[in-house]
Amino acid sequence: MVDSRNKQTGNWKEMVIPSNLRAAAESERTIVAEVQRCGFSRDATFAIRLAIEEALTNAIKHGNGNDPSRRVFIRYVVDRTKAIICVRDEGNGFDVTTVPDPTAPERISLPDGRGIMLMRAYMNDVTFSEQGNEVRLVKVNQ
């Protein structure tokens, strides 16, 4: 579950969770509830939920290798104009430029590899840290 190190720094809120999908889902619900309170549309709420889910799944599965001893660090700020969510894992990171296009004919029937593409499709801005173990998601409330 979301652990006791939840805290707030300025407008930013922080959560630290273990690498499991139940804890990730709980943190996702917390952020989505705030998005709703700030008046984001249904489409924007869907987009943010999807992007958070992709970021957390990647962090747990690929970043932390499903290692329950590794943690995921979440920082977010939501107001009436925008939502910014940062997700960091304790893995070695990766080079985002090497991620292949999941829609290419030779990859379309693979079960994995669509997460980054979906984040980019639904958010206004998606940036990775140089090391590649943190993603920053931005959605503007239009």
Partner 1 sequence: MSGYGAATLRPLAIETERRGDTAIVHLAGGATMEQADRLRDALMQVIGRSGACIVLDVQELEFISSLGLGIIVAAHLQTKQRGGSFRVAGAKSKVGEVLALTKLTRLFDLFDSVEDALRGSH
Q: What's the first-to-final CA gap in the chain, in angstroms?
A: 32
Name the one range near partner 1 by CB under 8 A: 3-11, 34-42, 67-75, 83-91. 34-42
Rule CB under 8 A: choose which of 3, 43, 79, 95 binds partner 1.
43
> Residue 56 interacts with partner 1 (CB under 8 A)?
yes
The dihedral over CA atoms of 59, 63, 69, 73, expressed in degrees to the nearest 10, equals -40
53 interacts with partner 1 by CB under 8 A: yes
Stretch that binds partner 1, among 1-9, 33-41, 70-78, 91-99 (CB under 8 A): 33-41
Residue closest to 47 by CA, chosen among 22, 72, 28, 23: 28
Decide if 31 contacts 25 (C-beta within 8 A).
no
Q: Is 2 in the site for partner 1 (CB under 8 A)?
A: no
